[in-house]
């Protein structure tokens, strides 16, 4: 499948069937931020606005097939892109189409940058849960961690989140990535708490960069940092501790284990253990053969972080100026 993947195990959403509204040939990332912790690599071209990626009907047709294949083993449908989902100008049409197709709840995981636009807030209003990012309580930390395209300032980001909270009737769950030495000290957390108090989300979900981040110096905060965040942020909102994910990954309904694994890794890096287990569940006769083929093809590669081996989808090659080159 080109746009639908999973189901993926999620600590918050159970068995989540993923929809990628920014899928591009070759796995080109489409985003307006270049976060230091992103598991999908560097953003080679920071987008300034929204655009059309593909006909919305293509996603809806794939999703209908995936739901039949899943045989009821899905808890949520989650729009989460190989980039920023709200940059797809057809997102509203896709969300309405999904709601007309199924009674399953729908979530959108977004950096929240485009919530400054009234039309985006209106499109997201039909989702059951929206999960935007807020990693910083001030401009300097925001620029250091999220590295946005210059049109998306911190003030514009917070104003968009605040406006959305006033209008939105569903679950607003903010995500805060806790990074050691960046936003986990008392002063940073106090500033973040002040902003959260003004936005008033339903919950704040603390998350950790446990999959390989784009910048190798990024490490998760420690137990003391998490306790500090819970104590300070918990004064203004409900804080959800980052418990471990559960369950196994599904590689989808592709007929070839190589393609199934490659397409999943392009959107969601996996540990070696997770990938081997997923291949076994898919029915691959020999996981080693598939992994060797992935590495040889350039569609994926393995790295070691935090003492574990991870598999990542390989990004397009770039020249010295960061421009994508032909494969």
Burial class (CB in 10 A: 0-12, 13-18, 19+), 186: exposed
Helix axes of 91-101 and 56-70: crossing angle, nearest 10 degrees? 30
Ranges in the chain annotated CATH 3.20.20.70: 4-240
Chain region(s) in the chain for CATH 1.10.10.10: 257-313
Residue with tokens 């929240």: 112
Predicted TM-score (pTM) of the model is 0.78
285, 284, 291: which is closest to 257 by C-alpha? 284
User: How far is 236 from 191, CA to CA, in rounded Å?
Assistant: 12
- The residue behind tokens 């104003």 is 159
One of 3.40.1350.10, 3.30.310.160, 3.20.20.70, 3.30.470.30 is the CATH number of 4-240, namely 3.20.20.70
Tens of pLDDT, residue by residue, the chain (327 residues): 788 988 887 778 888 899 999 987 666 789 999 999 998 889 888 999 999 999 999 999 999 999 988 777 899 999 997 899 999 999 999 999 999 999 999 999 999 999 999 999 999 999 999 999 999 999 999 999 999 999 999 999 999 999 999 999 999 999 999 999 999 999 999 999 999 999 999 999 999 887 888 999 999 999 899 999 999 999 999 998 776 445 556 666 566 778 777 777 776 677 777 777 777 776 777 888 888 888 888 787 777 766 667 777 764 333 333 333 332
Give the Cα separation of 213 and 34 in Å (integer): 11
Topology (CATH) of 257-313 = Arc Repressor Mutant, subunit A (1.10.10)
User: What tokens were used for 272?
Assistant: 């070696």
């Amino acid at each position: 499948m080109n746009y639908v993947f999973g189901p993926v195990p999620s600590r918050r959403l159970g068995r989540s069937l993923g929809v990628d509204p920014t899928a591009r040939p070759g796995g080109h990332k489409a985003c307006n931020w270049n976060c230091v912790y992103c598991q999908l690599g560097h953003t080679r071209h920071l987008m300034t606005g929204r655009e059309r990626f593909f006909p919305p009907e293509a996603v809806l047709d794939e999703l209908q097939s995936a739901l039949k294949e899943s045989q009821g083993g899905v808890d949520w449908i989650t729009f989460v892109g190989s980039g920023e989902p709200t940059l797809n100008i057809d997102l509203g049409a896709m969300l309405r189409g999904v709601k007309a197709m199924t009674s399953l709840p729908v979530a959108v995981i977004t950096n929240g940058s485009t919530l400054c636009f009234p039309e985006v807030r209106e499109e997201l209003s039909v989702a059951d849960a929206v999960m935007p990012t807020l990693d910083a309580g001030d401009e300097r930390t925001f620029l250091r961690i999220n590295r946005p395209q210059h049109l998306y300032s911190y003030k514009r980001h917070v104003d968009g989140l605040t406006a959305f909270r006033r209008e939105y009737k569903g679950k607003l769950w903010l995500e805060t990535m806790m990074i050691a030495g960046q936003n986990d000290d008392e002063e940073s957390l106090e500033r973040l708490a002040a902003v959260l108090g003004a936005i008033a989300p339903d919950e704040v979900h603390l998350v950790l960069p446990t999959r390989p981040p784009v910048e190798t110096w990024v490490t998760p905060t420690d137990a003391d940092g998490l306790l500090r965040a819970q104590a300070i942020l918990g004064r203004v909102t409900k804080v959800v501790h980052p418990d471990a994910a559960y369950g196994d990954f599904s590689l989808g309904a592709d007929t070839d284990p190589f393609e199934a694994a490659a397409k999943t890794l392009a959107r969601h890096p996996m540990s070696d253990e997770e990938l081997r287990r997923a291949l076994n569940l898919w029915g691959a006769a020999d996981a080693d053969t598939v992994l060797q083929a992935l590495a040889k093809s350039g569609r994926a590669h393995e790295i070691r972080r935090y003492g574990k081996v991870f598999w990542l989808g390989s990004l397009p090659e770039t020249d010295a100026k960061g421009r994508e080159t032909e494969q």
